[in-house]
Amino acid sequence: MSSSFSAWHDSPFHEFNDAESNTSAPSRPLAAYGWDDAWADAFAPYAEQGLVPGRVVRVDRGQCDVVTADGTLRADTAFVTPHDPLRVICTGDWAAVEPVGDPRFVRTYLPRRTAFVRSTSSNRSEGQILAANVDHAVIAVSLALELDLGRIERFLALAWESGAVPLVVLTKADLVPDPVGLAYLVQDVETAAPGVRVLPVSATTGEGVDALAAVVAGGTSVLLGQSGAGKSTLANVLLGEDVMAVQSAREVDGKGRHTTTTRNLLVLPGGGVLIDTPGLRGVGLYDAGAGVGQVFAEIEELATGCRFHDCSHQAEPECAVLAAIEDGSLAHRRLESYRKLLRENQRIVAKTDARLRAEMRRDWRIKGAVGRANSALKRGHLR
């Protein structure tokens, strides 16, 4: 991780000054964080209970930082840290916080519109929630390297699966000065990303930056992509200020101590919100079944024309997919990539199923043991 990548955590844009605080409708200051009528409607029952809405900008060991209409507060997450790791509160969630108390507890959070999840590690199949309520998944792909369409497809699957709308930015476009060459590269990526906007950008020349800023202005975004793809540079451009200076400017907490807090959710000066949680770097693929289908929409579309509805497009007669490869309208690489992602996905799903089955077995064993103990008690075998 480059040093500048972590720099965009500590932007001042999240702060409200007290003049802005507003004890009635929390709409105005929270609008910058993505609060809208639909969130307000969903929150109405909690407002009736006197709970306060706020967006989670950071979660850390039993606590989270929540931006409310009255500023940022630290709240306890004991009520929103269930056993299921996918239901643990995370950055981007809209929290319902107690109006008073020390600590103040987050009582619940609003149903998520979208959620980014990753598999935790190679030998565990539990998912981990990385970010909630993301509208745009900006996939950064460096033009300094040979394009790896398979990797782009992986990120696209993850993005579609989350519910966010993907956008591919081809970074460092200044390194491809030939416009015809650049157009070919964009076209290559477009064939791997049907229905997805592909935008060349350069932090160096500013090319494409306004177009990107316009997209991210409309909601909450995350930047995905390989290390070195130019994510932090782009984030800094979008933040539009000298984040290195901000990084050294430390905050003072309520007790007058200097603290350096890390925010994983930042409001952009041009509008929109950017989320970067540590886990979002190098995300893997987790149960991205629907996502894989969307990345390879044209293959799934072709497959509806196969003679057999469960055609595996290997050697079956009247296979529309193989026919498309034959006549050149579908690249063989695409089909290979599709198969690879499906296989990988099935492996992850199988692992998850195995875990669930093991949990169920354990559950039954416990219930069985309790049942046996109870009947033994009744029969007077146990004291």
**Contacts to Zn ion by CB under 5 A:** 306, 311, 313, 319, 321
DSSP codes, 237-276:
HHHTS-HHHHHHS-EE-TTS-EE----SEEE-TTS-EEE-
The item of ligand GDP, Zn ion, none sharing an interface with residue 231, based on CB under 5 to 8 Å by kind, is ligand GDP
Does 148 sit near ligand GDP (CB under 6 A)? no
DSSP secondary-structure letter at 311? -
Q: Which amino acid is at 291?
A: G
Q: Is residue 354 a contact partner of residue 125, using CB atoms and an 8 Å limit?
A: yes
Does 319 sit near ligand GDP (CB under 6 A)? no
Which sign, positive or negative, has the C-alpha torsion 322, 323, 327, 330?
Answer: negative
Q: How far is the CB of 303 from Zn ion (least distance, A)?
A: 6
Q: How far is the CB of 175 from ligand GDP (least distance, A)?
A: 5
328 CB neighbour count, 10 Å cutoff: 8
Query: Which CB sits closer to ligand GDP, 34 or 200?
Result: 200
Residues 153-172 interacting with ligand GDP (rule: CB under 6 A): 171-172
The item of Zn ion, ligand GDP, none sharing an interface with residue 175, based on CB under 5 to 8 Å by kind, is ligand GDP
Q: Give pairs for 346-350: CB < 8 Å, separation 24+.
A: 348/119, 348/125, 348/285, 348/286, 348/287, 349/287, 349/289
Residues 6+ positions from 354 with CB-CB distance below 8 Å: 125
Q: Cα(first)–Cα(last) distance of the chain, in Å?
A: 60
Does 175 sit near ligand GDP (CB under 6 A)? yes
The item of ligand GDP, Zn ion, none sharing an interface with residue 313, based on CB under 5 to 8 Å by kind, is Zn ion
The residue from 52, 64, 96, 229 that contacts ligand GDP (CB under 6 A) is 229
Does 247 sit near ligand GDP (CB under 6 A)? no
Q: Is residue 93 a contact partner of residue 112, using CB atoms and an 8 Å limit?
A: yes
Does 7 sit near ligand GDP (CB under 6 A)? no
Does 231 sit near ligand GDP (CB under 6 A)? yes
Does 277 sit near ligand GDP (CB under 6 A)? no
Query: Which CB sits closer to ligand GDP, 7 or 292?
Result: 7
Instruction: Tell me the angle at which helices 332-378 and 149-162 cross, rounded to the nearest 10 degrees.
Output: 40
Q: How far is the CB of 212 from ligand GDP (least distance, A)?
A: 12
Binding site for ligand GDP (CB under 6 A): 2, 4-5, 140, 171-172, 174-175, 202-204, 225, 227-233
